[in-house]
Chain A
Amino acid sequence: MYLQMGWRNIWRNPRRTIVIMTAVIIGVWAMIFLGALMRGISEQMVRNGITTLTGHIQVHHRGFRKDPVIENSIDKPEVVEAALSKILPQDARWTTRVRVDAIASNARHSGGATLVGIDPEREAEISFIGQAVTEGAYLKTGDTYGIIVGQALADKFETKLGRKLVMMSQDTKGDIASRAFRITGIFRAEMEATEKQFVFVTTGAARKMLKLGNEASEVSILLTDYKESDEVADALRGVLPSESYDVETWRELLPLVTAVLKIYDWFIYLWFLIIFIAMGFGIVNTILMAVFERIREFGLLKALGMKPWWIVKEVLAESFFLLILGMVVGNALGFLSIFALTDTGIDLSALSEGLEFAGMSRVIYPFVLITDIVAANLVVLILGLVVSIYPAVKAARFTPVKAMAHT
């Protein structure tokens, strides 16, 4: 009964109801839509980080990450491989890499780069490089002279497919090792920094150049579900002794991304709260107005023997309907906006260098996290009802005589 009354009461002054509902609608829309955009940005950062040679878990020789030199290689990769085949879930994939800081040079230029020796078939299933070659061809197992470089590096070196590129680094004996490669492929990456940093050869070629046996720098693992990372990493730590091996998940491998995720988490909930406060003032004011112009009515109800609690419930019911209607439309608009952008995204290429600087992708796609949606709606509904208690209690406190005297 009080629900029915609440519903009818909010339509006694439709203009006022629609105005405050608009505030709720815009607020909820802003929470959902902008929340999804922020999630989209951070989600893409994680994905970029993981596919850019990180994977979900990596195994290194102890100390390699602090001092990434060839001496810190995993000297018996077969031990790790045995551990992996025992522990990894069926559909997880992994690969080994040789990875070393090097100098790339040609006749005109020289500069630093990270030389990565990969197992072409396994690597293609794990990182971005398998699909990233836009010119020439991807590496083939056994290829000892081919090298794949990024578009940005090729531009900087004023070189192209088929040209020579000399790589220099330190071999296992501490001598300068140098080897000439031929550019057989050029890749593009989401980040220009990636295109500038990495050059790829086969593991065989890298080992030959650096005078390595079957040592490897790292093992990178990709799980089907990233949520299992911690669990699997723990299991690996149990088998691979910590005095010889470092097992780390992507959270530890990408501290920057992890920090961004944390900040975004914090920021999205702060945004929800701020938006709520902004509309909270309006909700209280509107309900107060609605209550005060009905003082006589409440007085009458009380004179008829209505309990104060019932009046509180009636006023809260009004607020409930306002909020629910606003939320339904706000959610709908939010999802519509998200849906409209799922294919095209928001193209920010005009600010590409700024995006690069901030570690963001050129196109932002909204990403819906169910917990955000639930949180946004709960914030609005619960806090909305909480602030409505004030006018509701006001209404319940009108004494019949005073209320009837009010004009």
Chain B
Amino acid sequence: MSIEIKMAWRNIWRNSRRSVLTILAIVFATMLLVFMLSFQFGSYDTMINTAVKIHTGHVQVQAEGYRDKMDTRLVVPDPGAVSGVIKNIPEIEAYTSRANAFSLVSSSDRTCGVLLTGIDPEREAKVSTLKKLVRRGEYLTREDTDMALVGELLARNLKVDIGDELVVLGQGRDGSVAASVLKVKGIFSSGEDKFDRNSVQMPLGYFQDVFSMRGAVHEVVALGSSLEDVKKIKKELGAGVRGMDSDGNLVILDWMELMPGIVQSIKLDLVSGLIMYVILIVVVAFSILNTFLMTIFERTREFGVLMAIGMTPGRLMKSLFLESVTITLVGIILGIISGGMITWYFQVHGILISGASELLRQYGLPERMYPQLSILSVSVGTGIVLIITILTAIYPVLKVRSLRPVEAMTAV
């Protein structure tokens, strides 16, 4: 260890009580930020993954305007051609096609308006969690025709159970009346009330017959192995689809465009969180500024001697800065360790946010939340603490610049 680092280290412990309090303040801030950001990032992950797995997949091919209007006539006319493109994109792990229509669904004594979706049972199972969400009865098979999966809340509202019949009434792609009778094969529950109250799934082939789709679908849904693949998939899918779609009616939408609400609410949460963290750290910064100031002012005479024996102000500033940086780093490292340990504990055991389960469910979050320790969650908070603390350390150090040896040595 060089003499300068040794000197910085020993200077820190000259007033151990003060240094410990200062380090504790930094540990507190770092710990809190590591935990909070891991918690936030963890819940965003859960939120996005749940939504992606239930609703949108990573990337979709749709007719232009379909996302906003959900108009039955805005279709992807040839899903087979899109699958051809998809097969050439190695990043896409699974894909499926869906068709939707708002319909009036009636049981023997109830009628409800729902979103009826035609799905390809086998492909859907690989793209979404729907198959796993079936709580009673069974999931659809390839051979099924007039069968339906019904959301749990909807089944309750319609007063239907497995094997009961549902009359479906809607509008076909050509504007004709589409009507059919479906048998309830399974009842699913996602935990998201709106979805469980509002949706019915049926086999895509039969849907296309009933709604006169003439082989068309509304969405081709692709899933990559992780969110990181989305950009690439979107680009390649875009290039491929443009090649086959001469009219330019099709658009490629990623999950962020399909669920702008989630993306923006994450942004909102993150930005408001960061504002709070910065304010918190500024308070910490002023709390420790006095320590940095005092360590310098009470040693003025010493600096005088150091300058007299030939230490330049620049070198002196460097060594004092080293001292403050060392305090900061000790605090940050201890903060990362303690914050990491706390976070890790909850990552394993989960945090029960009691009394908020209904609220969390609306965001696709479970009652027990798991923070997610990651390089990002650790580095963002730590980075903010480091920057602000170092800025704090600079001010007192700059005061040394104007120091002259004779005045310094005679200072009280």
Contacts and interface: CB of A to CB of B under 8 A. Distances in A.
User: Do A and B contact each other directly (Cβ–Cβ < 8 Å)?
Assistant: yes
B293 A260 contact: no
B260 interface: yes
Given A284-B21, A285-B18, A354-B263, 11 more contacts: A16-B290, A23-B289, A101-B113, A156-B70, A170-B110, A278-B284, A279-B283, A282-B289, A285-B288, A285-B291, A288-B18
A252 interface: no
Interface of B: 17-18, 21-22, 24-25, 28-29, 32, 68-71, 102, 104, 106, 109-114, 156-157, 169-171, 175, 198, 260-269, 276, 279-284, 286-291, 293-294, 298, 355-356, 358-359, 362-363
Nearest to A357: B261
State the 4 A-B residue pairs at the shortest beta-carbon distance, nearest first: A354-B264, A282-B287, A357-B261, A112-B113
Contact of B294 (A26, A109, A271, A289): A289
Contacts of B69: 109, 156, 158
B359 A170 contact: no
B138 to A, nearest CB: 26
A358 B294 contact: no
A282 B288 contact: yes
Contacts of A280: 287
Given A109-B71, A354-B267, A278 B28 contact: yes
Contacts of B265: 351, 354-355, 357-358
Given A112-B114, A168-B104, A285-B18, A19 B170 contact: no
Contacts of A113: 113
Nearest to B109: A174
Interface in A140-173: 156, 158, 168-170
Given A351-B264, A355-B265, A20 B106 contact: no
B290 A20 contact: yes
Contact of B293 (A16, A263, A288): A16
A15 interface: yes
A22 interface: yes
B276 A34 contact: yes
Interface residues of A, number: 62
A275 interface: yes
A34 B358 contact: no
B291 to A, nearest CB: 6
Given A26-B282, A101-B112, A67 B157 contact: yes
Interface of A: 15-16, 19-20, 22-23, 26-27, 30, 34, 67, 69, 101-103, 105, 107-113, 156, 158, 168-170, 174, 176, 255-256, 259-260, 262-263, 271, 274-275, 277-286, 288-289, 293, 348, 351-358, 360
A274 B32 contact: yes
A277 B28 CA distance: 8
B110 A274 contact: no
B355 A259 contact: yes
A98 to B, nearest CB: 16
A26 B282 CA distance: 8
Contacts of A256: 358-359, 362
Contacts of B32: 274
A224 to B, nearest CB: 29
A23 B261 contact: no
A144 B261 CA distance: 37
* Residue in B70, B169, B284, B287 whose Cβ sees the most chain A Cβ within 10 Å: B287
Contacts of B279: 26, 30, 34, 275
Contact of A111 (B17, B102, B288, B359): B102
Nearest to B47: A357
Given A112-B198, A354-B268, A355-B268, A274 B359 contact: no
Nearest to B288: A282
B330 to A, nearest CB: 15
8 contacts: A23-B287, A109-B71, A170-B110, A263-B356, A285-B291, A353-B261, A354-B265, A357-B262
Nearest to B294: A289
Contacts of A275: 279-280, 283
Contact of A19 (B266, B289, B359): B289
Contacts of B263: 354
B123 to A, nearest CB: 27
A27 B18 CA distance: 21
B268 A358 contact: yes
